[in-house]
């Protein structure tokens, strides 16, 4: 079973990415939260993997951190929650937000996820209420290796984090802004372009 992949980002799509490991391209499905943290190709990344083997397919699911993978495993134990719905839930709610929603009995928060109706939300709240408190909240991480260490890019990232944005999303936004503006871009221009990315 594959538990982790470290390789080059080949492509990032709406719900999946391709990671090249020594010439082999692995198709990895992931939450929008994990995909947003990935850098532009051909950067090197490390992603945690959950492998599911069925008669007709072997599927890889990627995660930005261990907490997200643990929640994926727990969510898929609930009747009516397959891998796709679990990823939709993790796209809508971080592990910390999931714990808060379940402990508060917040059905509305769960139904924000695509594929989760009122009945499934109630089932999630009922089945996971006792387990949520013991689940990890996650600390947030960027799978980019290495993160920016200086210059305009690092200053823009620091500014976005200070404004309250999560580091993985800020890293991805700054990378896309730098790609469009080029290496000689001014700090204020990079911050403005990054904020536009985060607003999308």
Query: Residue with structure tokens 């790609």?
Result: 179
- Whole-angstrom Cα distance, residue 181 to residue 190? 7
Residue 138 lies in a domain: no
Among 45, 63, 81, residue at a domain's last position? 63
Same domain, yes or no, for 100 and 124? yes
Among 39, 63, 87, residue at a domain's last position? 63
Check pLDDT > 90 for residue 51: yes
DSSP state of 64: S
SS3 56: coil
List beta partners, residue 47.
5
**Distance between alpha carbon 172 and the CA centroid of its chain, in Å?**
11
Q: Which residues make Cβ contacts (< 8 Å) with residue 40, sequence separation at least 6? A: 9, 12, 175, 176, 179
SS3 142: coil
Q: Which two tokens stand for residue 112?
A: 């924000």
Range of the domain at 100: 67-132
State the average pLDDT over residues 103-123. Answer: 92
Residue 141 lies in a domain: no
Predicted local distance difference test score (pLDDT) of residue 29: 97
Same domain, yes or no, for 23 and 35? yes
Residue 93 lies in a domain: yes
- Whole-angstrom Cα distance, residue 15 to residue 134? 28
Burial class (CB in 10 A: 0-12, 13-18, 19+), 137: middle
State the average pLDDT over residues 43-69. Answer: 91
CATH number for the domain spanning 34: value is 2.40.50.140
Predicted local distance difference test score (pLDDT) of residue 171: 76
Same domain, yes or no, for 20 and 35? yes
Query: Residue with structure tokens 């492509």?
Result: 11
| pTM of model > 0.75 | no
- Whole-angstrom Cα distance, residue 159 to residue 176? 16
Total domain count, the chain: 3
CATH number for the domain spanning 167: value is 1.10.8
Among 132, 161, 181, residue at a domain's last position? 132
Residue 50 lies in a domain: yes
State the average pLDDT over residues 83-89. Answer: 95
Predicted local distance difference test score (pLDDT) of residue 146: 45
Predicted local distance difference test score (pLDDT) of residue 184: 79
Residue 151 lies in a domain: yes
Same domain, yes or no, for 44 and 87? no
Same domain, yes or no, for 154 and 128? no
Q: What percent of the chain has pLDDT over 70?
A: 92
Query: Residue with structure tokens 């999308």?
Result: 200
Same domain, yes or no, for 193 and 156? yes
Residue 177 lies in a domain: yes
CATH number for the domain spanning 75: value is 1.10.150.20
Residue 25 lies in a domain: yes
Same domain, yes or no, for 156 and 174? yes
State the average pLDDT over residues 148-152. Answer: 66
More reliable by pLDDT, 74 or 183: 74
At 97, the pLDDT band (50, 70, 90 cuts) reads: confident
SS3 37: helix
Check pLDDT > 60 for residue 143: no
């Amino acid at each position: 079973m594959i538990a982790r992949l470290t390789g080059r980002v080949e492509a990032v799509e709406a719900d999946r990415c391709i990671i090249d490991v020594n010439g082999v391209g692995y198709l990895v499905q992931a939450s929008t939260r994990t995909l947003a943290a990935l850098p532009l190709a051909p950067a090197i990344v490390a992603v945690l993997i959950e492998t599911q083997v069925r008669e007709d397919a072997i599927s890889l699911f990627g995660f930005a951190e261990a907490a997200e993978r643990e929640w994926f495993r727990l969510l898929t134990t609930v009747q009516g929650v397959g891998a796709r719905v679990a990823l939709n839930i993790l796209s809508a709610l971080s592990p910390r937000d999931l714990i808060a929603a379940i402990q508060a009995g917040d059905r509305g928060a769960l139904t924000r996820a695509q594929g989760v109706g009122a009945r499934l939300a109630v089932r999630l709240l009922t089945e996971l209420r006792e387990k949520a408190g013991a689940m990890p909240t996650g600390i947030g991480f960027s799978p980019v290796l290495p993160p920016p260490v200086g210059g305009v890019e690092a200053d823009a990232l620091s500014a976005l984090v200070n404004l309250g944005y999560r580091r993985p999303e800020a890293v991805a936004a700054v990378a896309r802004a730098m790609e469009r503006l080029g290496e000689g871009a001014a700090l204020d221009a990079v911050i403005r372009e990054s904020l536009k990315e985060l607003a999308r």
